[in-house]
Amino acid sequence: MSQIQYVDDLIREYLLYRGFSGTLKMFDAELKVDKEKGFRVDKIVDQLMQFIYTYDLTGLKELWGHLDQKMFSKLENEFTPAIRKLESSVLKLYLVNAVANNKPDKVTEFFSRLTPDLQGQPEWKDWFMLPYVKNPEESPVFSVQFTRTWQDTLVVSLHNFLAIIYQAMPMPVLANYEEEAGRVRRLTEENDSLRLRLASLQQRSSLAPEVLPLPDLMDDFYIIAQEIPAGMEVQGKSLKTLIRTIGGGLPTSPIMGRKPQEQSHKRNNSKRLSTTPTNVWGKTAGDGTGLTKRSVSLEARSRTRNTQREVSLDRTGKMSRQGFLLLSQEEMTEHKSAVTQCQFNASGSVVASCDVDGVIKVWSPAPQPKLLSSHCHKAAVLSLDWVSKNERYLVCGSRSGTAALYDSRDSKTLWEISVEDKARIVSVACSPTESVFVSACVSAQNQGKLLLHDIKSKKLERTLSLGPGPQSLYATCCAYNHNGQLLVAGCSDGTVRTLDLRHSEVIDSWSGHQGAVTALQLTPDQNHCYSLGQDNKLYRHSFNQTKQPVWETQLPYSATCFTLDQSGQHILMCGQNGASINQISVGGVAPVLKLSSTSVAACHWANANQCGTCVTAGLDGKVEIFTLLTP
């Protein structure tokens, strides 16, 4: 629901522009007493818990009554029992808190005010004797509600329930405008990219008409249309099959059934075959093969299918389908100094990169690298992250301890705040659900802080503790989980710690690295976390089995950063020896495709349909873009 705050800002700007000062004052006044807190679920849950902890029964009933009238009453009747049970649990938590803190007057007040409403409900039958029971936490009737597990489960259930309702609520047209515009823009860019790639492939085929004559190409389209069912779900596969058919002559194409032509014809075309793109195994599509002619029927093709040439090509085709195919390689040279980080936005259509000169570049990688905006900060920018659900803004952290919100559309800094004086911000991470971000700061004395800031108010919400550890403990990298409830931080002592942001406490810690953690990333299913350390070891930990890593490997070469693909089965490893894609297996990582041999300091990977784009950046300021056909 982050678009609600954005719409509020638009309305405020419009009222100010029109001179409706009275309406603006009334609008701001109503926002201050907004019971739904701008549709921010965490704020609503915090307000409910605040009423419970301060024994404000009136405020608790009024807020719940507002939610009931505004949202709960409009749900289907089948949800009514769940809502009533949730309300009873919230009221019971109020009583448990009062009893645990020795507030008998609040318990008496509760029953004196709510007895007429509760006496007819079966789940409250035993609770009327709560004021007269000594040590209720030991009673089998009330003991469950006094446990920390029950209380935490209630808070999580309440948060998830409200979040689901807000996600399902129909939004006004004004709130959906930017999201719809962004979706249309992404689809348009994707269509343009695919159209250009298809035109490029057709142009390549026209350069060698004897190798791929036009009628044969049209027959390939015809067979693809016959063999692949129609529907949006197979468009990616059909494009993948088409590209392989044009570039490699695999068994799915009728070209496989051609008969040898004259030897002179074959010699004339051997040179052209050598210029075709190479596959992942380093061989061209025409190595060791002669030119063939289309068979006159499917029956004739089947008779010649088992020749030695056909069998060898069939084996090569199967090997190619297991790897990646490099479609194109581009270079972006806008940076003039060492690049510190590069990152795709949520849709994978735009990349933001920063360098030690304080320059931020926002650019589009496809179909050709195109600079969209640029800005220069006063100090070196060491980290950045896109603001979730809004592809216009990004947060960046500098070497001087300042954080800034950058508008990529207008190429300007909206605000800049001093997060920590004379400290470098080595990592920033924006919440995927709320308008907050976390910054990991390190001072010159190697003492660090982990700070949570609100993007809208530009204020520090709280300082997050990393738990017990050495005095020089600090976070080197961090990442949110999918719902923004947890933060995973890699630390200078080689541990990876999981923080519960609702209670600002460390709930888990893993150790194993000798030296600091240099990079970490959660798997797409959010069940595991990969971490890379200075000891050149790569670990995979499970959030369900936290004592020991479920997988580990010692890398044979020095690596400084990595990123996973969308399946979590392949990993892009980067370091002084360059960048390469590796497949994750039980025994370790197996190289699949070498992308670069130059030193790489930052990388990222985005996927769309069957095509993936890898971006690597080095100390020389060069950024390379690799477009891949994924297996």
> What is the average pLDDT across 29-55?
78
pLDDT attached to residue 103:
87
pLDDT attached to residue 303:
40
pLDDT attached to residue 177:
65
What is the share, in percent, of the chain residues with pLDDT greater than 90? 31
State the Cα–Cα distance between residues 392 and 408, nearest whole angstrom: 5
pLDDT, tens digit (0-9, with 9 covering 90-100), for 228-241: 444 444 444 444 44
Tell which wins on pLDDT, 475 or 290: 475
Rounded to the nearest 10 degrees, how much is the dihedral formed by the CA atoms of 44, 46, 47, 53? 150
**Beta-carbon contacts of residue 577 (< 8 Å; ≥ 6 apart):** 557, 558, 597, 599
pLDDT attached to residue 317:
34
**Which residue from 443, 454, 436, 404 is spatially nearest to 420, judged by alpha carbons?**
443
pLDDT, tens digit (0-9, with 9 covering 90-100), for 512-547: 899 999 999 999 888 899 999 999 999 999 887 766
Given a cut of 50, whether residue 366 has pLDDT beyond it is yes
pLDDT, tens digit (0-9, with 9 covering 90-100), for 243-287: 444 444 444 333 333 443 434 344 444 333 333 333 333 333 334
pLDDT, tens digit (0-9, with 9 covering 90-100), for 457-515: 889 999 999 998 888 899 999 999 988 889 999 999 999 999 999 888 898 888 889 99
pTM of the model: 0.53
Tell which wins on pLDDT, 26 or 315: 26
Confidence of residue 176 (pLDDT cuts 50, 70, 90): low
Given a cut of 60, whether residue 320 has pLDDT beyond it is no
pLDDT attached to residue 125:
83
Return the half-sphere exposure (C-beta side, CA atoms, 13 A cut-off) of residue 242.
Answer: 23
Cβ atoms of 433 and 420 closer than 8 Å? no
Classify residue 325 as left (phi > 0), alpha (psi -120 to 50) or beta: beta
pLDDT, tens digit (0-9, with 9 covering 90-100), for 101-155: 888 898 888 888 888 888 878 888 888 888 888 888 888 888 888 888 888 888 8
> What is the average pLDDT across 577-599?
91
State the Cα–Cα distance between residues 429 and 487, nearest whole angstrom: 9
Tell which wins on pLDDT, 78 or 578: 578
C-alpha R_g of the chain = 30
pLDDT, tens digit (0-9, with 9 covering 90-100), for 399-440: 999 999 999 988 899 999 998 888 999 999 999 989 999 999
Cβ atoms of 510 and 496 closer than 8 Å? yes
Mean pLDDT of the chain: 78
Given a cut of 60, whether residue 2 has pLDDT beyond it is no
